[in-house]
C-alpha cells in the first residue's frame, strides 16, 4: 500500500513536533544546571609577581642592585609582554604581564629557574626572589583583587578583647574550608596587654640595658620551639623545648646581680608592670557603632551570590556549635546588590517578552498565530539552554541581556517563516532568513577581534546572541512549519470582503500607484539623491592625519563632514571608560606628622555623630589607622535619584572644617570634591613621563610643571610616583661622625642607647588557655618626648653620660621611599586639576603632551595618564568595514549577483545617519553600548531588504512580462507588513532598557542607538533602496504562467 503525500506530511510534521518537544523538555530540565552569576567566569591570570626584600636598604639601592637585575632577567623571557617594578624601602617587586597565548605554568617555571640561577649574585642581606601569580582570577577592569563579601556584628556582653579572640579562633578555621573565601578579618574592640615600663635614667644608674630586661622577661614567660636535632635509633629527630616559666609574680623577677655587694636587682626596682588596653593601631566602625565586626573576604569576580549563600549557611552551623553562645548579626551583604541587578535584568527580559507577545497578538488578531509564535519562541529558548550547558556558558548580566535582545530577532525569523509558509506552504523564505540571521551573526563575530576594552563588555553578549540565532534557524526551518500545519488552516485564495475591506483595498491600490510613480520620479533624480546622501553622511576629512595640510582644510572639514563629523565632535577619548560605580561619598582625613590613630579617631568620631543625624544614608564604613582615616558613605536608592548626595557633601565639608585639626578631603560625588591640604588634594588629570635616567626624568617633570603653571586654569600641580601619590614626611637622624670619633663612641652603641629612650618592643606572650596577652616593654618617657627633649636628653654609654644633640642632627624630609618602573623605564606622574569642560581639558592636555613629545630626548616620552582615559585611535570603527564585506559576500551568495548586494549594503551607512543625529542632539554618552548598537545595526538593518528582494526575485520568475517597478511594489506590499512587524518587535524588545534611564550607561545607549538606527532604516528602505535597484522596464511573459500571473498580479 503506497503512502499518500498527506500521510507523509503528517508523519513528517509529527516527527518534527515530537523531536522538538523532547528537546524542549531536556532544555527545561537543564535550566537550573546552567551556571548563573553576576560577572563573567574568572580565567587564568596572565600576571606573575616576583617579590623580594632587603632589610634596611633604601629604595634607590634596592632598585640598582636587585630590582633592575630581576627585571632584566624577566624581560628576556619570550612570552613576557611587559613588566612593572616597584622599589621600596627594604623591599621590591616586579609585576610581569604575559602574552595572551602564553603558557602560564611554563613561563612561571622558567622565571623561577632564572631566580635560582641569580641567587648567588644577590647582595648580602637580600632575600631570595619569590614568584607568585598565574592563578584563576577575574579579568575585569576593576583593580580590586578581594572584596568584602559579608560583614557580621558580634552581639554579646563579653569583653571585646575576649570576644574578638574567641570569635577569630572559631570562625577562621570554619571559613578556611570554603573555596573562594580569601580570608576573615575581625575588627573592632581593644586588646589587653601587659606593659613593663622602665625609667631610662634608673637603668643607667644600675648599668642595665633594656635588652637585659627583655631577656629576663622571656625567661619568665617561658619559650616553646625547636632548639636543635639529636640522633635517635630511627634517625635524626628534632629537639623540642617547652619551658613554662617560673611561677613567681612578674614583679619579683630577678633581672641580674649588680653592684660590688652583689645585690639582686628585681624588676619592680627598675620598672612597673600593669595590664592596660592597647591604644588601637586601627579602628573599624559601621554606622558609627564601635563593636567587633567580622568581615568575610572573597576574590573579586567570583559568583558572589552563590558564595554568600554558602557562607551564611556555614555561619549558622558555626553559631549552633559555639560553646559560648555568641550572636552574629548580618549587617552587610555585597551579593544583595547583585541579586537586585540580576532581578532587574530578569524583569526587563520578561517585560520585553510580554511586550513582544502582546504586539504579535495585537497585529495578528489570531490566537492560533499567537500560539505558533509563542511555542516556537519557547522552543528556541529552551533548546538554547541545551547549547549553554554543552558549551559551558555562564549566564551573567551581559549574556542575559543578549538573550533579551535576541528575543526580537528570533521572533522576526519566526514571523517571516510563518507568514510565508502560511501563504505558500513552502519553505522558500528560509534562504532569506538564513542570509538575514547570518549577516547578524557575521557582524557580531567582529566583536571577538575588537580591542580588549570593548571585548570585556561585549564578548559574552555576542556569543549568546549568536547561539540563540543559530538555534532560531533550526527552529524556524523545522518546527515553525510543522506548527503551522498543525494549528493553522490554510486560508482560501478568495475571501469575501465587506464594504470596509473594499475601501481598504481601494486605498491600498491608490497608495501602491502613488508609491510606484514616486519611485519612477526618484530614479530620474538619482544623482541628486546620491549627492544629498553623501553630504548627509559626511566625508571623514577630520580623520586625516594632522600633518596633511591643504587649502581650506578647516572649512572643508566642517562643510563636508555631515552627520559623521557632528557625531565625532560629540565623542571624547573617554568614550569607552569603565562602567561608573554606584555613587558613594568618600571622606579622607590625615593627621600631621606625629599624629596617632587615637588622636585622629577622636576627630572622626565627631564626624560619625554628625552622619547619624543625616537622612538618605544606607550605610557608612569608617576605617581609622596611623596612615589616616577613610569614611565611605553609601546612599539609599531613593537618595541617589535626588540631589541629596551633593547636599550632604556640602554639609560634610562644613562639618569637617569645624572639626579641623587634620587634613580633610572628599571625592566621589561632585567632580572636584574638596580638600584643605596640598597633600590630600584630588588631582583629576595626569601626564605620565617615562625615561631611562631617574634624575633627568625628575627635571623633565618639573619642566612640564612650569609649563602648566602658565595656564591660569591649571591648579594643584605636583610630581608624583604612580600609585604612591601621598607619601608622608619622615624624621631622620644624621650622625656627627667626627664628634663620635672624637669621643670614641661606636654608632652601634649610640643607636642602642637611643633605642632605650624611644623604642617599644614586644618581648613575648602570656597564654592562660583562654586569651593570649602580649607583653610590651617600653620607656616611661616615650610619650613626653618631643624633638627638643630628645636633643637635650642624656644617654649613658660605657659609664659616661652624653647629650644626644651633641652627636646627632634630627631633620624632617619628604619620604621618597618608592621608585616605579615600567618596561625598565622610570615612571613619574605630573598631576593637576584643570578648571573647564572635559573637551577643553582633554584638548589642552593633548596639546601639552604633543609639544613635549616632539622635544624630549631619545629614551624619554610622555603620555596622558588620566584615570579611565586612553587615546581612542578609532580602530574599532574601521573594523566595521569588515562587517560590510561579510554582509556583501553573504548577500552575493544568496542573490547570485555581484552588484545587487551593494543596494543592501547602502542601508547600513544611511541608517547610521539616524544614530549620529540621535547621539549628537540628545547628548547621551555613546560608550560601548552605542558602539554595540552600530555593530548590531550592520546585521539587522539589511534583514528587511533581504526579505523584500527575495520576494522580488520569486515574483520576477513568475511575472517575466511586467515592469520591474510593478513587481517590486508588489513584493514590497506583500512583505512590508512582516518587515514593519519585525522592526517594531525588535524596537519593542528594547523598550525595557530605556526604563532605567541614563543610569544604566551601557544598555541605555545601546537601546537608543539600535532604536534610532532601525527607525531610520525603515525610511531608507521605503524611499532610498528602490532608487538604486535594477528594475527592468518590461519583458516577455512566460506562456505557461500567463493566465496565473495575470490573475495574481
pLDDT tens for each residue of 731-765 = 777 788 888 888 888 887 887 777 777 777 777 77
If you average pLDDT over residues 933-956, what whole number do you get? Answer: 84
CA distance linking residue 1006 with residue 554, whole number of Å: 32
Q: What is the DSSP letter of 67?
A: I
Q: Which residue bears the cell 545607549? A: 1005
Residue 241 near residue 223 (C-beta atoms within 8 A):
yes
Instruction: Please write the tens of the pLDDT for every residue from 260-288.
Output: 556 778 877 788 888 877 776 778 787 88
Q: How many CB atoms lie within 10 A of CB 63?
A: 24
Assigned fold of 582-681? Alpha-Beta Plaits (3.30.70)
3-state secondary structure of 234: coil
pLDDT for residue 689: 92
Residue 58 near residue 89 (C-beta atoms within 8 A):
yes
Query: In 3D, which of 276, 274, 269, 261 has the Cα closest to residue 213?
Result: 269
What percent of the chain clears pLDDT 70, i.e. is strictly above it? 80
Domain ranges of the chain: 5-25+339-489+504-537+873-1048, 43-137, 146-191+281-333, 192-277+759-796, 582-681
Q: 234-243, 294-303, 730-739 — which is least confidently predicted?
A: 234-243
Instruction: Please write the tens of the pLDDT for every residue from 661-720.
Output: 888 889 888 877 787 765 555 677 889 999 988 888 988 998 999 899 999 888 888 888
Assigned fold of 5-25+339-489+504-537+873-1048? Multidrug efflux transporter AcrB transmembrane fold (1.20.1640)
CA distance linking residue 1015 with residue 944, whole number of Å: 12
Instruction: Please write the tens of the pLDDT for every residue from 442-473.
Output: 888 877 877 666 676 678 888 898 899 899 88
If you average pLDDT over residues 31-35, what whole number do you get? Answer: 83
833, pLDDT greater than 80: yes
Instruction: Please write the tens of the pLDDT for every residue from 192-232.
Output: 778 888 877 777 777 777 777 877 877 777 666 555 666 66
pLDDT for residue 546: 66
The reply to whether 5-25+339-489+504-537+873-1048 and 146-191+281-333 are identical in fold is no
CA distance linking residue 388 with residue 35, whole number of Å: 9
If you average pLDDT over residues 986-1000, what whole number do you get? Answer: 76
Instruction: Please write the tens of the pLDDT for every residue from 116-127.
Output: 888 888 888 888
C-alpha cell at 732: 631622620
Residue 115 near residue 129 (C-beta atoms within 8 A):
yes
Query: In 3D, which of 290, 103, 278 has the Cα closest to residue 188?
Result: 290
Render 326-378 in DSSP notation, one character per residue. -EEEEEEETHHHHHHHHHHHHHHHHHHHHHHHHHHHHHH--HHHHHHHHHHHH
pLDDT for residue 139: 45
For domain 43-137, the CATH superfamily is Multidrug efflux transporter AcrB pore domain (3.30.70.1430)
Q: 452-456, 842-846, 849-853 — which is least confidently predicted?
A: 452-456
Judged by phi (left if over 0) then psi (alpha if -120 to 50, else beta), residue 125 lies in: left
The reported pTM is: 0.62
Instruction: Please write the tens of the pLDDT for every residue from 803-829.
Output: 878 888 877 665 667 888 888 889 998
C-alpha cell at 227: 632548639
C-alpha distance across the termini of the chain, in Å: 42
Instruction: Please write the tens of the pLDDT for every residue from 558-605.
Output: 788 888 888 877 765 445 455 556 789 999 998 876 677 888 888 999
What percent of the chain clears pLDDT 90, i.e. is strictly above it? 5
Angle of CA points 887, 890, 891, to nearest 5°: 85
pLDDT for residue 677: 67
Q: Are strands 772-779 and 729-735 parallel, antiparallel or unpaired?
A: unpaired
637, pLDDT greater than 90: no
Q: Give the phi and the psi of residue 270 in degrees, each rounded to 5.
A: -125, -5
Query: In 3D, which of 464, 472, 482 has the Cα closest to residue 383?
Result: 472
CA distance linking residue 105 with residue 117, whole number of Å: 19
C-alpha cell at 210: 633594656
pLDDT for residue 373: 85
Mean pLDDT of the chain: 78
Residue 631 near residue 620 (C-beta atoms within 8 A):
yes
CA distance linking residue 829 with residue 719, whole number of Å: 6
pLDDT for residue 345: 72
Question: Would you tell me the crossing angle of helices 526-537 and 499-524 to the nearest 10 degrees?
Answer: 80
Residue of higher predicted confidence among 177 and 354: 354
Residue 332 near residue 287 (C-beta atoms within 8 A):
no
Match domain 146-191+281-333 to its CATH number in 3.30.67.10, 3.40.640.10, 3.90.1150.10, 3.30.70.1320: 3.30.70.1320
Instruction: Please write the tens of the pLDDT for every residue from 96-107.
Output: 988 877 888 888
pLDDT for residue 26: 92
Instruction: Please write the tens of the pLDDT for every residue from 760-794.
Output: 777 777 766 656 777 888 887 666 667 777 777 77
**Confidence grade of residue 25 (pLDDT, cut at 50, 70, 90):** very high
pLDDT for residue 690: 92
C-alpha cell at 940: 539587522
Q: 75-84, 312-321, 527-536 — which is least confidently predicted?
A: 312-321
880, pLDDT greater than 80: no
CATH number for the region 192-277+759-796 comes to 3.30.2090.10
Amino acid at each position: 500500500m503506497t503512502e499518500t503525500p498527506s500521510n507523509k506530511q503528517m508523519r513528517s510534521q509529527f516527527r518534527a513536533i515530537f523531536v522538538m518537544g523532547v528537546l524542549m523538555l531536556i532544555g527545561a530540565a537543564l535550566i537550573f544546571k546552567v551556571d548563573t552569576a553576576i560577572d563573567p567566569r574568572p580565567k587564568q591570570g596572565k600576571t606573575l609577581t616576583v617579590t623580594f626584600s632587603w632589610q634596611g636598604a633604601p629604595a634607590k639601592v634596592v632598585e640598582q642592585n636587585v630590582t633592575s637585575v630581576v627585571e632584566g632577567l624577566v624581560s628576556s623571557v619570550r612570552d613576557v609582554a611587559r613588566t612593572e617594578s616597584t622599589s621600596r624601602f627594604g623591599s621590591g617587586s616586579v609585576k610581569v604581564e604575559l602574552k595572551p597565548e602564553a603558557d602560564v605554568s611554563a613561563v612561571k617555571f622558567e622565571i623561577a629557574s632564572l631566580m635560582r640561577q641569580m641567587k648567588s649574585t644577590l647582595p648580602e642581606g637580600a632575600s631570595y626572589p619569590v614568584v607568585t601569580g598565574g592563578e584563576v582570577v577575574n579579568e575585569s577592569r576593576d583593580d580590586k583583587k578581594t572584596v568584602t563579601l559579608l560583614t557580621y556584628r558580634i552581639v554579646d556582653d563579653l569583653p571585646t578583647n575576649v570576644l574578638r579572640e574567641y570569635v577569630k579562633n572559631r570562625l577562621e578555621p570554619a571559613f578556611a574550608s570554603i573555596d573562594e573565601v580569601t580570608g576573615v578579618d575581625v575588627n573592632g574592640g581593644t586588646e589587653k596587654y601587659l606593659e613593663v615600663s622602665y625609667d631610662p635614667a634608673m637603668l643607667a644608674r644600675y648599668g642595665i640595658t633594656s635588652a637585659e630586661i627583655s631577656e629576663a622577661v622571656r625567661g619568665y614567660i617561658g619559650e616553646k620551639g625547636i632548639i636543635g636535632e639529636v640522633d635517635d635509633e630511627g634517625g635524626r629527630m628534632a629537639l623540642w623545648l617547652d619551658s613554662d616559666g617560673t611561677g613567681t609574680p612578674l614583679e619579683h623577677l630577678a633581672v641580674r646581680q649588680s653592684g660590688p655587694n652583689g645585690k639582686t636587682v628585681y624588676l619592680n626596682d627598675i620598672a612597673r608592670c600593669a595590664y592596660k588596653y592597647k591604644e588601637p593601631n586601627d579602628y573599624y566602625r559601621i554606622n558609627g557603632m564601635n563593636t567587633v565586626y567580622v568581615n568575610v573576604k572573597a576574590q573579586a569576580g567570583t559568583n558572589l551570590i552563590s558564595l554568600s549563600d554558602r557562607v551564611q549557611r556555614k555561619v549558622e552551623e558555626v553559631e549552633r556549635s559555639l560553646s559560648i553562645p555568641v550572636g552574629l548579626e548580618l549587617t552587610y551583604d555585597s551579593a544583595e546588590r547583585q541579586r537586585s541587578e540580576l532581578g532587574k535584568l530578569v524583569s526587563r527580559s520578561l517585560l520585553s517578552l510580554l511586550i513582544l507577545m502582546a504586539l504579535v497578538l495585537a497585529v495578528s488578531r489570531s490566537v492560533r498565530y499567537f500560539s505558533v509564535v509563542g511555542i516556537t519562541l519557547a522552543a528556541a529558548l529552551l533548546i538554547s539552554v541545551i547549547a549553554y550547558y554543552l558549551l559551558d556558558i555562564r549566564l551573567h548580566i551581559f549574556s542575559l541581556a543578549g538573550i533579551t535582545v535576541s528575543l526580537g530577532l528570533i521572533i522576526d525569523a519566526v514571523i517571516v517563516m510563518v507568514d510565508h509558509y502560511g501563504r505558500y506552504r513552502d519553505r522558500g523564505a528560509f534562504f532569506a532568513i538564513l542570509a538575514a540571521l547570518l549577516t547578524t551573526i557575521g557582524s557580531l563575530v567582529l566583536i571577538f577581534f575588537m580591542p580588549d576594552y570593548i571585548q570585556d563588555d561585549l564578548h559574552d553578549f555576542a556569543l549568546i546572541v549568536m547561539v540563540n540565532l543559530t538555534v532560531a534557524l533550526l527552529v524556524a526551518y523545522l518546527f515553525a512549519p510543522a506548527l503551522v500545519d498543525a494549528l493553522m488552516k490554510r486560508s482560501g485564495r478568495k475571501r469575501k470582503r465587506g464594504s470596509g475591506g473594499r475601501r481598504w483595498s481601494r486605498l491600498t491600490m491608490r497608495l501602491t500607484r502613488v508609491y510606484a510613480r514616486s519611485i519612477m520620479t526618484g530614479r530620474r533624480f538619482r544623482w541628486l539623491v546620491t549627492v544629498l546622501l553623501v553630504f548627509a553622511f559626511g566625508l571623514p576629512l577630520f580623520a586625516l592625519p594632522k600633518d596633511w595640510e591643504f587649502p581650506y582644510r578647516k572649512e572643508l572639514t566642517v562643510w563636508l563632514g555631515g552627520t559623521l563629523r557632528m557625531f565625532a565632535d560629540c565623542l571624547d577619548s573617554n568614550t569607552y571608560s569603565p562602567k561608573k560605580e554606584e555613587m558613594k561619598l568618600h571622606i579622607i582625613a590625615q593627621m600631621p606628622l606625629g599624629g596617632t590613630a587615637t588622636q585622629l579617631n577622636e576627630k572622626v568620631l565627631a564626624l560619625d555623630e554628625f552622619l547619624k543625624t543625616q537622612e538618605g544614608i544606607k550605610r557608612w564604613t569608617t576605617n581609622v589607622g596611623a596612615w589616616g582615616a577613610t569614611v565611605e558613605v553609601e546612599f539609599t536608592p531613593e537618595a541617589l535619584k535626588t540631589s541629596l548626595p551633593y547636599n550632604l557633601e556640602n554639609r560634610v565639608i562644613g562639618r569637617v572644617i569645624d572639626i579641623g585639626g587634620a587634613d580633610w578631603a572628599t571625592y566621589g560625588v561632585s567632580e572636584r570634591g574638596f580638600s584643605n591640604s596640598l597633600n590630600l588634594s584630588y588631582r583629576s588629570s595626569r601626564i605620565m613621563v617615562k625615561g631611562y635616567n631617574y634624575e633627568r626624568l625628575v627635571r623633565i617633570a618639573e619642566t612640564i610643571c612650569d609649563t602648566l603653571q602658565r595656564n591660569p586654569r591649571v591648579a594643584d600641580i605636583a610630581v608624583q610616583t604612580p600609585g604612591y601619590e601621598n607619601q608622608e614626611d619622615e624624621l631622620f637622624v644624621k650622625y656627627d661622625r667626627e664628634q663620635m670619633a672624637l669621643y670614641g663612641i661606636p654608632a652601634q652603641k649610640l643607636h642602642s642607647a637611643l633605642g632605650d629612650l624611644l623604642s617599644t618592643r614586644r618581648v613575648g606572650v602570656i597564654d592562660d588557655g583562654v586569651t593570649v596577652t602580649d607583653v610590651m616593654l617600653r620607656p616611661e618617657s616615650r610619650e613626653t618626648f618631643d624633638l627638643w627633649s630628645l636633643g637635650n636628653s642624656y644617654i649613658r654609654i660605657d659609664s659616661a653620660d652624653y647629650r644626644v644633640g651633641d652627636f646627632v642632627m634630627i631633620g624632617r624630609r619628604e619620604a621618597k621611599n618608592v621608585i616605579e618602573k615600567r618596561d625598565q623605564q622610570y615612571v613619574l606622574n605630573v598631576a593637576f586639576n584643570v578648571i573647564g569642560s572635559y573637551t577643553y581639558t582633554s584638548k589642552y592636555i593633548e596639546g601639552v603632551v604633543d609639544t613635549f613629545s616632539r622635544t624630549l630626548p631619545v629614551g624619554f616620552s610622555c603620555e596622558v595618564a588620566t584615570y579611565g582615559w586612553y587615546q581612542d585611535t578609532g580602530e574599532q570603527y574601521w573594523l566595521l568595514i569588515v562587517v560590510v564585506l561579510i554582509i556583501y559576500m553573504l548577500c552575493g551568495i544568496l542573490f547570485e549577483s555581484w552588484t545587487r548586494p551593494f543596494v543592501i549594503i547602502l542601508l547600513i551607512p544611511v541608517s547610521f545617519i539616524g544614530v549620529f543625529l540621535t547621539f549628537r542632539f540628545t547628548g547621551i554618552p555613546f560608550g560601548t553600548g552605542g558602539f554595540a548598537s552600530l555593530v548590531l545595526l550592520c546585521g539587522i538593518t539589511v534583514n528587511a531588504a533581504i526579505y523584500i528582494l527575495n520576494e522580488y526575485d520569486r515574483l520576477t520568475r513568475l511575472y517575466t512580462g511586467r515592469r520591474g517597478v510593478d513587481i517590486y511594489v508588489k513584493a514590497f506590499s506583500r512583505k512590508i507588513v512582516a518587515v514593519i512587524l519585525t522592526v517594531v518587535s525588535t524596537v519593542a524588545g528594547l523598550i525595557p532598557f530605556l526604563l532605567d534611564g541614563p543610569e544604566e550607561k551601557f544598555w541605555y545607549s545601546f537601546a537608543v542607538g539600535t532604536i534610532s538606527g532601525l527607525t531610520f532604516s525603515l525610511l531608507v528602505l521605503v524611499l532610498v533602496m528602490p532608487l538604486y535597484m535594477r528594475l527592468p522596464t518590461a519583458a516577455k511573459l512566460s506562456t505557461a504562467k500567463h493566465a496565473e500571473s495575470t490573475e495574481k498580479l
